[in-house]
Chain A
Amino acid sequence: MSDRSQLISTGKPFQYDQERDAEFERLVKRYPMRESMILPALWLIQEQEGWVSQEAIAYAADRIGTFASKVYEAATFYTMYHLQPMGENHICICRTLSCWLRGKQEIVDYLENEIGIKPGQISKNGKFSLEEVECLGHCGTAPVVQVNGEFHEDMSMDKLKSLLATLK
């Protein structure tokens, strides 16, 4: 594990856009305790901004009515929350059993080579970031790659090349 405690400040106050605001209010009714909204609230932030800033954590805490330290705990505990801006195209490669057996390493090696970064890094021009993730739930169509949340299944090298071409 690594230290994720250093939050990045944007220097600007955070706020949900209209759509996320409505979604927050819809979700909050689901739970008997408002604190249960910590994880969904962080997801909404990441969906909107692509990452979670210090101001966004403070916003979520105040919006939920809980301690900022609690939201800070959750955001640093779960590595799926990005605490820094990711690349314009954030590429996730599944590394769990089915995808591994069906050749995820080939995909990782190719992307590393083409983009010039390792998983966990962001390209210098800010266009790409790579991440190896745990099971994405598409084992039947492994190996699977996710670009900005969109699934690309049954990846072969040919499909990967044409996918990358559309992103560049």
Chain B
Amino acid sequence: MADKIKLFVNEVEVEVEAGKNLIDAIGAVGIEIPHLCYHPALGADGNCRMCLVGIKDGRPPLVPACKTRAMEGMKVLLDAEHIKKIQHDVMEFELINHPIDCPVCDQAGECKLQDYYMSYDQQGSRMTVPQVTKGKKLDFGSGVIHDQERCVVCGRCVRFCRQITKTGELGAINRSDDTRINIFPGRPLNNRYALNVVDLCPVGAMTSSDFRFKQRVWFLKKAPDICHGCAKGCNITIDHNRQKYEDDIIYRFRPLFNEQVNGYFMCDEGRLSYKQENNGRLTEARTSNNPRSINEILAASTKEIERAEKIVIALSPNCSLEQMVTVKALSDKLGATLTGYSEGYIKQGDGDDYLIQDDKSANRAGLHLLKIDNSLNTFENAMQEADLLLNFNNELTLSFEKRELSRLLNDTKVIAVTSHDTPLTAMADMAIPVASYSEYAGSVVNSDNILQSFGKAITKNIDLDDISIIAAKLGSPLQTPAERFAALQQIISALNEFEPDKIPAEGLNLNNSEAANVTA
């Protein structure tokens, strides 16, 4: 833990973390200092002047909190008349040329200008001269739409592109009240993290072409989750809503801060992967592509499993640890060959040195932890003799050409337990629909060996079972969540310290404990 210091805010003593600036230090204990341009990931720019505070130690009457480090015994003034006056005045400046188009603005409801107007301004316009007009709905590329009139020129987007992605597409053009954010002609936003500028924008100047005009943000329900787009496991907020008479639909993913995984950001591909949770889903059980009830197919599957002599069970590297351990127990009971072979999930060379990983699956490290074989050899050899393939959401068409896959599956019955209606589902003799990751709780281990838990974010109208429940129904000895967690505790010693559902939000770093475990 960081050192603590004591200081005074409006003459009340508070204990805060040392070494931070006033916005972060005091903000962490629930006292907000208004600010537009400062962002912890982008540093203090000091251009918006919204965070001016007073400090009673003989320095000038107003100092920017973003550039002032919290010190022991500091006397910070937030509610003095001259501070309220400056906040009021800065807001008046910010709003001089603002179009006030909140009724059609996507940011309404999560807009700093709106919030600060209500908290610090609350006055009518005194302007008698015409407003400065600027560019509207400019397409900056990468799905970012910009409105120069709504912009407060805090420069967060400019700094993001220069400091984080180092692509520098954006600039603050002109000067004084004509300043506007723009791209250089012919050089649009062209990086894989561009949509983060939409989150960073404190006002409605940057909007996402994918999300704009879809939902008012105050209707959206928010649920924390883990992105399953690659092995990084970025923390996300799922914004979803069930409109009257409709199903629960996900409208967007936004990055959720986790210092040891993704910081404040996520990649665009992962952000837009919410669509795969909404679309292309398998919702009905099928046999030979004819719909049946799930119970009928489960009964038929149980019969097939009893009849079969050589069973291969394939697991997706996206499955949660709980699902893997349940399926593994089922496999052990049946004497089946268990494989996690999924080479097709890896896009060699696609990753970068920031967040994006080559491996497009969320829990390959989990396969390794549970010692589940993932070699091609084992899979192919086992398939030679198998008369039943029980596939848990492993999209084999990613790893094999269709013709090769047909050859492998020849003379083999295929039961596909699957969340999506994929080419493999079409090839299967029986298909059982299951929940996708936004619809179940579980834990995954990312590429840095950090174990992260996530809850059930979405409840669909048809609330499908997840893979561990289906595996239990097919006879896995691990019938309850408690049994599954206990089985995981046997394998992952770091879990012994925790109750189920009590794994810390920032994740468990397994590097130390598990390395020790393996050598012992």
Query: Quick check: is B187 within 8 A (CB to CB) of the other chain?
Result: yes
Q: Choose, from B173-181, B372-380, B456-464, the stretch at the interface.
A: B173-181
Q: Which residues of A contact B185 (CB under 8 A)?
A: 7, 9, 54
Determine the residue in chain B with the shortest Cβ distance to A66. Answer: B168
CB atoms of B177 and A72 under 8 A apart: no
Q: Size range of the interface on B?
A: 20 to 34
**Contact partner, B178, options A1, A9, A66, A73, Cβ 8 Å:** A1
* B169 interface contact, C-beta 8 A: yes
B211 within 8 A of A: no
Tell me if B93 is interfacial: C-beta within 8 Å of chain A: no
A2 nearest in chain B by CB position: B178
Q: Which residues of A contact B175 (CB under 8 A)?
A: 1, 76-77
State in angstroms the CA–CA spacing of A77 and B170 once bound together.
Answer: 15
| Cross-chain pairs A/B with CB under 8 angstroms, 7 sampled | A3-B180, A7-B185, A69-B169, A69-B183, A72-B173, A73-B172, A77-B175
* Binary contact track A1-16/B, C-beta < 8 Å → 1, others 0: 1111101010000000
In the complex, what residues of A have CB within 8 A of residue B162's CB?
Answer: 67
Please state if A73 and B171 are interface contacts (CB–CB under 8 Å): yes
Q: A67 and B169 in contact (CB under 8 A), knowing A5-B180, A54-B185, A72-B184? A: yes
For residue B182, CB closer than 8 A to chain A, the reply is yes
Is the Cβ of A3 less than 8 Å from the Cβ of B178?
Answer: yes
A70 at the interface (CB under 8 A from B): yes
Measured in the bound complex, the distance between the Cα atoms of B178 and A1 in whole Å is 7
Per a CB cutoff under 8 Å, which of A1, A68, A77 touches B184? A68
Using A57-B184, A68-B184, A72-B184 as known contacts, say yes or no to A5 and B174 having CB atoms under 8 A apart.
yes
Q: How far is the CB of A96 from chain B (nearest CB, A)?
A: 20
- Say yes or no: A1 contacts B169, CB within 8 Å: no
Contact (A67, B178) CB under 8 Å given A7-B185, A9-B185, A58-B184: no
A4 to B174, CA, bound (A): 6
Chain A residue at smallest Cβ distance from B132: A3
Considering the complex of A and B, which 3 residue pairs feature the smallest CB-CB distances, nearest first? A67-B168, A69-B171, A68-B184
What residues on B are CB-neighbors of A9 within 8 Å? 185
Q: Which residue of A lies closest to B171 (CB)?
A: A69
CB pair B174 A3 closer than 8 Å: yes
Q: How far is the CB of B517 from chain A (nearest CB, A)?
A: 48
Q: How many A-B residue pairs have CB under 8 A?
A: 59
Separation in Å of the A161 CB from the closest CB of chain B?
Answer: 37
Q: Which residue on chain B has the smallest CB distance to residue A78?
A: B175
The answer on a CB contact under 8 Å between A68 and B187 is yes
The residue among B162, B173, B176, B177 with the most chain A CB atoms within 10 A of its own CB is: B173
What is the CA–CA distance of A58 and B185 in the complex, to the nearest angstrom?
9
Interface residues of A (CB under 8 A from B): 1-5, 7, 9, 54, 57-58, 61, 66-70, 72-73, 76-77
In the bound complex, how far is the Cα of B186 from the Cα of A9, in angstroms? 11
Q: A67-B162, A69-B169 are in contact. List 4 more A-B contacts (CB 8 A).
A: A4-B178, A67-B171, A70-B171, A73-B173
Query: Are B176 and A5 touching (Cβ within 8 A)?
Result: no
Separation in Å of the A1 CB from the closest CB of chain B?
5
Give the complex CA separation of A148 and B158 in angstroms. 36
Please give me the residue from chain B that is nearest to A54 by CB atom: B185
Interface string of B183-207 (1 = CB under 8 A from A): 1111100000000000000000000
CA distance A4 to B176 in the complex (A): 12
Checking A2, A58, A76 against B173 with a beta-carbon cut-off of 8 angstroms, the contacting residue is A76
- Asked whether A69 lies within 8 Å of B178 as measured between CB atoms, the reply is no
Within 8 A of A (CB), among B118-170: 134, 158, 161-162, 167-170
Q: How far is the CB of A116 from the nearest CB of chain B, in Å?
A: 28
Q: Which residues of B contact A7 (CB under 8 A)?
A: 185
A58: min CB distance to chain B, Å: 7
Smallest beta-carbon distance A168→chain B, Å: 35
B176 touches A1 (CB 8 A): yes
* Choice from A3, A5, A70, A76 contacting B168 with Cβ under 8 Å: A70
* Distance to closest chain B CB from A137 (angstroms): 23
Interface string of B323-334 (1 = CB under 8 A from A): 000000000000
The answer to whether A69 and B174 touch across the interface, beta carbons within 8 angstroms, is no
**A77–B178 Cα gap in the complex (Å)?**
10
User: For the complex, what is the distance from the CA of A57 to the CA of B182, rounded to whole Å?
Assistant: 15
- CB-CB < 8 A to B161: which residues of A? 69
Taken together as a complex, chains A and B put the C-alpha atoms of A120 and B147 apart, in Å, by: 29
CA–CA, A79 and B180, complex, Å: 16
Assess whether A69 is in contact with B177, with CB atoms less than 8 Å apart: no
* Residue of B174, B176, B186 with most chain A CB atoms under a 10 A cut-off: B174
Q: Are A1 and B187 touching (Cβ within 8 A)?
A: no
Q: How far is the CA of A61 from the CA of B183 in the complex (A)?
A: 14
Q: Which residue of A lies closest to B177 (CB)?
A: A1
What's the Cα separation between A152 and B232 when bound, in Å? 67
Find chain B residues with CB under 8 A from A67 CB.
Answer: 162, 167-169, 171, 184
Closest A residue by C-beta to B172: A73
Residues of B within 8 A of A3 (CB): 134, 174, 178, 180
On chain B, the residues within 8 Å of A2 by CB distance are: 178
What are the residues of chain A within 8 A of B158 when measuring CB–CB? 69
A73 to B, closest residue via Cβ = B171
Given the known interface contacts A5-B182, A7-B185, A67-B162, the answer about A72 and B176 at a Cβ–Cβ threshold of 8 Å is no
A77 to B174, CA, bound (A): 5
Q: Complex Cα distance A54/B183, Å?
A: 12
Task: Kindly state the separation between the CA atoms of A77 and B180 in the bound complex, as whole angstroms.
Answer: 11
Give bound CA distance, A7 to B167, whole Å.
21
* A61, A68, A76: the one within 8 Å of B174 (CB): A76
B180 and A69 form a contact (CB under 8 A) = no
A9 to B182, CA, bound (A): 17
